[in-house]
Amino acid sequence: MAVAAHPVDTRLPFGRQLTFGIQHVLIMYTGCVTVPLVFGAAAGLDRGTVGLLISADLLIAGVITLIQSLGVAKLAGARLPIVCGATFVGLNPMILIAAEYGLQAVYGSMMVGGVVGVALAWPFARMVRFFPPLVTGTVLTVVGISLIGVAGGLIIGADPTASSFAAPSHIGLAAVVVVIAVGFLCLGRGVWSQLGVLIALVAGIVIAIPMGLVDTGGIGATDWVGLPRPFHFGAPEFPITAVVAMSIVMAVVFAESTASMLAISEITGKPLGKGDLARGLVGDGLSGVLGGICTAFIDTIFNQNVGSVAATRVYSRYVTATSGAILVLLGVLPRFGAIVAAVPEPVVGGVGLVLFATVAIVGVDTLRKADLADRVNATIVATALGVGLLPVMAKDMFVKFPDSAQILLTSGVTLGAATAFVLNLLFNHTRLGVLARGVVPPRVSL
């Protein structure tokens, strides 16, 4: 008797696969293009150049998503339902490098960081036994709670001086989107429940049209075809400080991606071996190499899409591969990308609120597998959660620290992951744990 394929390895009918693939793209698009938009503004780039960065960003995100979903032999790709996009972790160091050394140094150091990532992927993956539910559950909870602030920012807007900032109508639109999403996710049956997020997005767009929030003015002026030119800003440069900074960024991305892949494994029930994890991390490293060549950005696994997988219970990696193909298409056809970009931020924020919180719930559910009745484990989780949420709750806490230190300290995910990892290592893998619990190991006679 033939063994049924795991849901992760199952292909859906073309129509459903395309629909769910589009849903993933709509969920992650705003977050993905925000990085080039912010970087372009901070680096003083003109609108045309920023448009090139966006196209390159989407193209590389699509390529890495395809690699992660389908795999490349035994070399790269976790073969899980993963959607990748530009990471915010690298944004601040890139801005600092651009100001200090120029854009050629930004992309040269990114390439080297990517090479370092590829080289360290397998050694890093061997540490997976030090990421039990106690650690991964804590990290995912921090990730989910941290992302709720991102959803709120999309709903109210980024400019406090704008007349539309925190407009009740925008908040009301997001609330309606949340109600529609919850209604379909909870009350829908079968495909209607799975499509709840997409239905909420479409309904939000329709409601936003008479409100004047769907801006299609720039679509007609966008080129139909546009390919990124390698080394657009000139020959890459490699200042040692910039290279070290981008290598640190890659290490942080590895920590985030490890937690995300373990979460996807937990959600889908598909075991994640060391080889799978290593190949997934190789994909992260490749994004740095390709990003440096094509003037794009380092990619990471988007946790809002992890939340979508959990909420919709559609586990097929061929769905996210379809998303990758769509992203590649958007990258080479900027006109279509401009159409997707017209989705109002309050609509994306409303959907994101549900999806991001879902990531936190996955973290809480993962923590249920840890022994929290043990006071040491409970203390580890409490401390890591508190430290991880500090940069979220007190955004200016580390503002007087050196810029190089802020790369790590302003990331709640990094602080939470490091705290949980170190405390778990100390109290569950050394004799310090024996002392803390007051358990005397049995004497072994020789």
Spell out the domain ranges in the chain.
8-214+228-434
Residue 260 CA: distances (Å) to CA of 86, 189, 272, 420: 15, 28, 11, 15
This prediction's pTM: 0.71
- Residue 260, Cβ neighbours under 10 Å: how many? 27
Closest CA to 111 of 215, 22, 2, 239: 239
Sign of CA dihedral 299, 11, 80, 8: positive
- Give the total residue count for the chain: 446
Which residue, among 153, 87, 211, has the nearest Cα to 349 in the 3D structure?
153
Below-70 pLDDT ranges, the chain: 1-4, 30-31, 38, 41-42, 47-48, 92, 190-191, 194, 216-223, 336-342, 403-404, 406-408, 411, 439-446
pLDDT given at position 280: 94
At 200-219, the pLDDT tens digits run: 888 998 999 988 888 766 66
Segment 375-405, tens digit of pLDDT:
999 999 999 999 989 988 888 888 888 766 7
In the block, which residue shows the tokens 């959607």? Answer: 83
Handedness of CA 103, 105, 107, 113 (dihedral sign): negative
User: Two tokens at 294?
Assistant: 């094509």
- What sign does the dihedral 401-407-409-411 (CA atoms) show? positive
Angle at 138 between CA 353 and CA 427, to 5 degrees: 170
Cα–Cα distances in Å, from 232 out to 50, 74, 103, 293? Answer: 12, 32, 10, 9
DSSP, collapsed to helix, strand or coil, labels residue 336 as: helix
Amino acid 444: pLDDT: 44
Q: What is the mean pLDDT of the chain?
A: 84
